């Protein structure tokens, strides 16, 4: 039952205390000031002088623990516990009193008739106590976090000090290393300058004679290479031949001549304008008196800047032949060297010179083998690998032997047969009656010509039908030819016997 406005504003009544004279010493009669009995074993609860006026009469008020429900505690368990505590105790006692009355009225509305203002005060004290515990726990957690952060900050400050010390030591070490490197660089420059001066003054003595006598064991090989004197020309073919022959000479004398002798040997094959260029331009001006620098300067002087046009055309006009594949590769390499291309492994399948070389391969079997090898190689082939592979494949091709066909045989070698005789005659082809060994090989070549030939398009007499497997002429097997047959000797014995019979028959008829 809700309270009226007068009851809501009703205040606690004070219990009247006995009044005594202030001048006389009287014993203390107030319950709040009443001392505990020294003989009492239990704490005697003192009663408050405040009481409530109820319908049944005045009731004393005392502090009691009302307690909070779990739902109320869960609602109060918030992160900002300090702000909630301030809201709980309000800004003034008047506001707090209004909160207590509101709670009391709410409880009475819910049917809790035993609730009064003292109960509201007790519950508010329980709430304040719970929130204070929350603040204490929150403060402890903050202290723990602050302590952890303080320890971490201390460790970081120590690590920072160590890193600064290491940085200072590293800077000092770097300065020392830079100083040492500078000293070493100066010493190296001085040593290189001395070595360069020594090479120029001692490798080729100004007034000394450089011996370029060729040992006898190499004289015949060098004479056969046909190295002629170079007088200077714009003909790239002549320049190529001279450099090729000179490179061959220097390569043979590699372990015989030193650098100065190689230069002197090259000078002995220079004449005319080329020799004048060597003495007046290259020798006085060069700072590196070596054979390699001489060759580089020679190419720069005598090979024009637009030589690549002529050289590429020359590569495209070259023709690859099976019998001279190695000579073809050597010439191809030489022309590429004139184009300043020395490392052929850098020429991949997309390179211009790789495509030019591959276009020279006409044999379909070789092209197919190169294609399969390229597909099986990660990244594809390069020009150096291609040239080596084509050389091996061309040498492995079967040899094509030119033989006379039966239509090309002269009538003089055909046996004469008498058509008037009733005896059945046998017609055979005799290649040579005088030399049995030569006849044997000629006959074998004639028989196998159809097998090895790749150019004929007509069906040979007595040969297999189109699409049929080739068979041996002796045992008629399909896994080998006559030249590999184990019964080849018996076959030729039968052939020679029939030849002899034919010859005897021809002699008897004559």
Q: Is the pLDDT of residue 405 over 70?
A: no
Q: Is the pLDDT of residue 438 over 60?
A: no
pLDDT attached to residue 249: 87
Q: Based on the domain organization, do 366 and 436 belong to the same domain?
A: no
pLDDT attached to residue 206: 45
Q: Based on the domain organization, do 297 and 316 belong to the same domain?
A: no
Listed residues 302, 317, 347: the one ending a domain: 302
* φ, ψ (nearest 5 deg) of residue 10: -70, 135
Burial (CB < 10 A; 0-12, 13-18, 19+), residue 11, is: exposed
Interval 268-292 mean pLDDT: 84
Listed residues 202, 237, 259: the one ending a domain: 202
Q: Based on the domain organization, do 292 and 331 belong to the same domain?
A: no
DSSP of 259-322: HHHHHHHHHTTB-HHHHHHIIIIIHHH-S--SHHHHHHHHHHHHS-TTHHHHHHHHHHH----G
What is the extent of the structural domain holding 440?
Answer: 428-448+471-510
Q: Based on the domain organization, do 156 and 77 belong to the same domain?
A: yes
Flag whether 355 is in a domain. yes
Q: Is the pLDDT of residue 297 over 70?
A: yes
Number of domains in the chain: 4
Q: Based on the domain organization, do 134 and 81 belong to the same domain?
A: yes
Q: Based on the domain organization, do 295 and 319 belong to the same domain?
A: no
pLDDT attached to residue 166: 93
- Is residue 427 a contact partner of residue 417, using CB atoms and an 8 Å limit? yes
Per residue in 446-472, pLDDT tens?
344 433 443 444 444 444 444 456 777
Interval 238-260 mean pLDDT: 84
pLDDT attached to residue 480: 78
Q: What is the three-state SS of 248-275?
A: HHHHHCCCCCCHHHHHHHHHCCECHHHH
Q: Is the pLDDT of residue 303 over 70?
A: yes
Closest CA to 235 of 300, 332, 307: 307
Closest CA to 340 of 307, 363, 367, 316: 307
Check residues 238 and 156 and name the one with the higher pLDDT.
156
pLDDT attached to residue 129: 86
Q: Is the pLDDT of residue 389 over 80?
A: yes
- Is residue 425 a contact partner of residue 410, using CB atoms and an 8 Å limit? no
Cα separation, 14 vs 55, whole angstroms? 17
pLDDT attached to residue 474: 78
% of the chain surpassing 70 pLDDT: 72
Q: Based on the domain organization, do 86 and 183 belong to the same domain?
A: yes
Q: Based on the domain organization, do 82 and 193 belong to the same domain?
A: yes
Q: What share of the chain is helix, strand, coil (3-state, %, to 5)?
A: 60, 5, 40
pLDDT band at 243 (very low <50, low <70, confident <90, very high): confident
The model's pTM: 0.36
β-pair type (50-53, 58-60) = antiparallel
Q: Based on the domain organization, do 94 and 108 belong to the same domain?
A: yes
pLDDT band at 424 (very low <50, low <70, confident <90, very high): very low
């Amino acid at each position: 039952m809700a309270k009226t406005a007068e009851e809501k504003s009703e205040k606690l009544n004070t219990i009247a205390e006995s009044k005594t004279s202030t001048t006389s010493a009287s014993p203390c009669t107030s319950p709040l000031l009443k001392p505990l009995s020294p003989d009492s074993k239990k704490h005697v609860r003192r009663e408050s002088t405040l009481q409530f006026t109820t319908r049944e009469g005045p009731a004393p008020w005392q502090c009691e623990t009302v307690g909070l429900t779990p739902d109320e505690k869960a609602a109060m368990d918030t992160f900002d516990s300090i702000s909630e505590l301030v809201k709980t105790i309000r800004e003034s006692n008047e506001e707090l009193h209004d909160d207590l009355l509101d709670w009391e009225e709410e409880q009475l509305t819910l049917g809790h008739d035993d609730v009064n203002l003292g109960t509201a005060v007790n519950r508010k004290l329980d709430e304040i106590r719970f929130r204070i515990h929350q603040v204490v726990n929150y403060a402890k957690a903050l202290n723990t976090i602050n302590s952890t952060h303080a320890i971490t900050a201390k460790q970081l400050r120590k690590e920072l000090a160590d890193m600064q010390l290491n940085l200072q030591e590293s800077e000092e070490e770097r300065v020392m290393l830079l100083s040492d490197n500078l000293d070493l660089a100066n010493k190296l420059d001085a040593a290189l300058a001395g070595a360069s001066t020594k090479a120029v003054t001692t490798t080729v003595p100004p007034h000394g004679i450089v011996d370029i006598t060729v040992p006898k064991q190499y004289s015949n090989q060098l004479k056969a290479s046909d190295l002629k004197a170079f007088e200077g020309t714009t003909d790239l073919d002549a320049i190529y031949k001279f450099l090729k022959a000179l490179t061959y000479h220097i390569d043979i004398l590699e372990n015989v001549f030193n650098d100065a002798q190689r230069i002197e040997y090259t000078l002995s094959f220079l004449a005319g304008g080329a020799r004048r260029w060597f003495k007046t331009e290259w020798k006085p001006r060069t700072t590196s008196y070596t054979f390699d620098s001489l060759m580089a300067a020679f190419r720069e002087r005598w090979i024009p800047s637009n030589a690549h046009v002529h050289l590429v055309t020359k590569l495209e006009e070259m023709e690859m032949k099976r019998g001279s594949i190695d000579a073809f590769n050597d010439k191809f390499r030489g022309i590429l060297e004139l184009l300043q291309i020395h490392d052929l492994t850098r020429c991949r399948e997309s390179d211009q010179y790789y495509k030019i070389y591959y276009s020279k391969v006409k044999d379909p079997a070789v092209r197919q083998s190169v294609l399969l090898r390229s597909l099986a190689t990660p990244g594809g082939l390069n020009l150096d690998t291609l040239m080596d592979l084509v050389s091996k494949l061309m040498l492995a091709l079967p040899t094509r032997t030119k033989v006379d066909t039966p239509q090309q045989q002269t009538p003089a070698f055909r046996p004469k047969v008498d058509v008037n005789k009733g005896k059945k005659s046998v017609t055979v082809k005799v290649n040579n009656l005088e030399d049995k060994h030569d006849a044997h090989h000629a006959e074998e070549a004639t028989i196998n010509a159809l097998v090895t030939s790749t150019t004929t398009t007509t069906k040979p007499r007595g040969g297999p039908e189109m699409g049929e497997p080739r068979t041996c002429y002796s045992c008629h097997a399909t896994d080998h030819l006559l030249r590999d047959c184990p019964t080849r000797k018996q076959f030729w014995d039968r052939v020679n016997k029939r030849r002899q019979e034919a010859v005897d028959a021809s002699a008897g008829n004559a």
